Structure 1
Amino acid sequence: MTEYSLNKLAYRFGQPTETAAIRQQPEHFKVQELIRVEPDGTGEHLWLNIRKRGMNTQFLMKQVARWAGVSERNVSHAGLKDRHAVTEQWLSVQLPGKPDPDIRELENDDIQVIAAHRHSQKLRSAVLLANRFELLLTNVSDPQAVVERWQQVSRGVPNYFGEQRFGHSFGNIDKAKQVFAGKRVKRHLQSLFLSAARSWLFNCMISQRLEQGQFETLIAGDMLMLAGSRSHFQNQGEADLPERLASGDVQLSAPLWGEGYEKLEGEYLALAQSVANSEPELAEGLVKQRVKMALRPILLKPEHGRIDLVGKDVKISFVLPSGSFATSVLRELVSYQDASGSVHADLGE
């Protein structure tokens, strides 16, 4: 039986030797959603920018639905945010033919409405552009060493899916295997479990590329993604590709396994296939479930990064594109202990 652990995955700069704690208080982990759409001021959807403390997104949506007097189906979110944090996130609530409810009746010590605007469409995940993080590391073994290591980490880390994607003790992968064996589950749960399976294969592909010394270099058949875009093309040996890769104009990728992998070529296919062959139950199950292959960049680069000493603590802030994980940045910086004591389903996406 396969034993799953993020500890098996390779590091870009070697496993960090310094230790620290995260989230001794919710205020030590702050997240702010950055969206790509401005509400237009009219329409039946009320967009709310809400600061919350000590609650996850699903709980907040229940509170908003109760406040607005609508079904939870009428409340939408752009991204999921964790309970053990202070987060600012956007929700929308559909209010056809209804006036705006009284904002004051929604607010309390743990919920504050930052902005409320009408819009012609409901909020969708594609609206989420990025997340801004502000994290306080406590019980740091050597704060100055962490500051110095940040200079490396800020260059970019493996774009691993974090432990929260996989559930407690990697239970979501075991549940994916049950789905592959024929067990029926609710559609949204099936999507979660299948996503965990191909997220693990993706992580292993990055790790293997790191171990082979190919994390920053082109290989035959590489599928390259245009920076900030899902557009992609195959490495055909163009002379300018190394320069474009070094400048950040294009990004190396790894496949999210599924139907269509057979169209890959060269060393790129060989590397992906070797990982798939090591996990045949996952790889074959995803194809049988008709999951379509997609691409994801292998490098995650924190933007607008800053690090400061705060007494014996270390404060870091950075921006990550939607769908990426702050814990993947932290993993390269320090060996951390999560003081909240739980594995989280939705941190940082």
Structure 2
Amino acid sequence: MKLVYPLNIKNDFVFNSTPRDFTVEEIPLYEFTGEGEHLVLKVRKKEMTTWEMLDAISNHVGIRRRDMGYAGLKDKHAMTIQYISLPAKFEEKLDAFSHEKIKILDKVRHNNKIRVGHLKGNRFEIRLKKVLGVQKDKLDSVLKWIKSHGVPNYFGNQRFGTDGNNWEDGKKLIEGKLKIRDRKTREFLMGSYQSYLFNSWLCRRMELTLLLQEFSEADTEKLMKLPEGSLKGSKEQKNFFKLVEGDLMMHYPYGRLFEVEELSKEAERFETKDIAPTGLIPGTRVKRSAATARMLEEHFDEEIKMNGARRYAWIQVTEIKKNYVEEKAHYELSFVLPKGAYATNVLDVLRGNAS
């Protein structure tokens, strides 16, 4: 069975990252209890960062920003709905809070402060414009592919700053060629370089996968400069993204990390969306892959004095809904992604340029 990645299906559409055309809503990890010493706010914001929103609320009630809790950072250029927490004793002061870019939609008590990562995922609503004629059918076709197979889990452009080069300063910091005193700025830039290395690795794995679509394992080994036999059992896999010996997998959408032992067996579990492969965010206290996977990973691994991690290389797109408004040539789309995943990955596949 040959699986063709929709790179050859080029779609022309207009997407503007504005509050009118782009909405992100957090999906909480669990229901809030309705009692406790913390107050959880469901907040809608636009045209401001999460930090700016937290500052506006914390300054109003008279607390430090670090006394507030949040689950994730949300895009400045979207309409975003997210959950934050603060000590419940400040509830009365919120009654007088008013801000043109922030609206508190709901309040509920809870036992704990919200922590970073306490999310199931995010729901995205996107409006694509100038979708004319055959473009609508092409988008339908690619969406069907995405629903069946998923998308690569690259870090989004916003991770790398306005000019896309934050990672360069992060690299200089790691190499000792740049000095920055502020710890948070330093860690942000170094984190950008970690993300760059992950994306570079994933690009390499996508190249391998696409080569296996067209060539034999032996020819792909030569093209990728891998030892003979290192890709044995990869081409025959039914899933699009090909696993290799030594890959580190995680149960999906969250769970335990483990190494591939029987390639065909784990490939079948990956196809059923029970597990997914991971890539390396280099740093300390993180497990490295082995065998063929390590050969592909080691070129993007560096000594970085920050905690490393394993990140899903491939993710599923769920709860996909679409609506075509013919008279306006608008293609309205909504879907859910796991936490830490970027909507740009879906948009790139829809455009046909996510290699």
**Structure 1 SS opposite 2:168:** helix
CA contact (8 A) 2:18 2:79 kept: no
Cα 1:79–1:137 change in 2 (3 A) is: same
Higher relative contact order, chain-length normalized (CA < 8 Å, sep 6+): 1
Cα 1:238–1:299 change in 2 (3 A) is: closer
Q: Distance in 2 between matches of 1:144 and 1:264?
A: 41
Residue 221 of structure 1 pairs with residue 212 of structure 2: no
Worse-matched range after superposition: 314-323 or 45-54: 45-54
Corresponding position of 1:256: 281
Counterpart selection for 2:346 from 329, 341, 346:
329
Cα 1:16–1:197 change in 2 (3 A) is: farther
Corresponding position of 2:114: 123
CA contact (8 A) 2:15 2:128 kept: yes
Offset of 1:109 from its aligned partner?
A: 4.7
Offset of 1:72 from its aligned partner?
A: 2.1
CA contact (8 A) 1:20 1:335 kept: no
**Structure 1 SS opposite 2:241:** coil
Q: Distance in 1 between matches of 2:208 and 2:17?
A: 37
CA contact (8 A) 2:286 2:310 kept: no
For the aligned residue pairs, the C-alpha RMSD in angstroms reads 2.4
TM normalised by structure 2 equals 0.81
**Structure 2 SS opposite 1:161:** coil
Cα 1:185–1:302 change in 2 (3 A) is: farther
Corresponding position of 1:18: 11
Counterpart selection for 1:105 from 85, 91, 96:
96
Residue 198 of structure 1 pairs with residue 194 of structure 2: yes
Corresponding position of 2:310: 295
Offset of 1:131 from its aligned partner?
A: 0.4
Offset of 1:103 from its aligned partner?
A: 4.0
Offset of 1:138 from its aligned partner?
A: 1.1
Q: Distance in 1 between matches of 2:91 and 2:288?
A: 51
1:157-172 to 2 correspondences below 5 Å: 157-172=151-166
Offset of 1:238 from its aligned partner?
A: 6.3
Residue 307 of structure 1 pairs with residue 322 of structure 2: yes
CA contact (8 A) 1:21 1:139 kept: yes
Worse-matched range after superposition: 157-166 or 72-81: 72-81
CA contact (8 A) 1:19 1:335 kept: no
CA contact (8 A) 2:71 2:119 kept: yes
Offset of 1:302 from its aligned partner?
A: 0.8
Deviation per CA, 1:177-231, whole angstroms, max 9, x where unpaired?
A: 2311331332222222122112112112222112112662331111111112241
1:68-217 to 2 correspondences below 5 Å: 68-95=61-88, 98-141=89-132, 142-154=135-147, 155-182=149-176, 183-213=179-209, 216-217=241-242
**Structure 2 SS opposite 1:80:** coil
Offset of 1:260 from its aligned partner?
A: 6.1
One-letter identity of the residue aligned with 2:114: L
One-letter identity of the residue aligned with 1:111: I
Worse-matched range after superposition: 155-164 or 18-27: 18-27
Sequence identity percentage: 28
Q: Distance in 1 between matches of 2:292 and 2:342?
A: 28
CA contact (8 A) 1:78 1:90 kept: yes
CA contact (8 A) 1:222 1:235 kept: yes
CA contact (8 A) 1:78 1:128 kept: yes
Deviation per CA, 1:242-283, whole angstroms, max 9, x where unpaired?
A: 32121111112222123467853210000112x32xxxxxx4
Corresponding position of 1:320: 337
Cα 1:260–1:81 change in 2 (3 A) is: closer
| Runs of at least 5 residues in structure 1 that lack an aligned partner in the other structure | 1-10, 277-282, 337-349
Q: Distance in 2 between matches of 1:202 and 1:330?
A: 20
Worse-matched range after superposition: 197-206 or 229-238: 229-238
| Runs of at least 5 residues in structure 2 that lack an aligned partner in the other structure | 210-233, 235-239
Cα 1:47–1:143 change in 2 (3 A) is: same
Offset of 1:128 from its aligned partner?
A: 1.7
**Structure 1 SS opposite 2:91:** coil
Q: Distance in 1 between matches of 2:59 and 2:163?
A: 34
Offset of 1:153 from its aligned partner?
A: 2.5
Cα 1:41–1:203 change in 2 (3 A) is: same
Deviation per CA, 1:289-308, whole angstroms, max 9, x where unpaired?
A: 33344211211211101122
Q: Distance in 2 between matches of 1:129 and 1:185?
A: 35
TM normalised by structure 1 equals 0.82
Cα 1:250–1:180 change in 2 (3 A) is: same
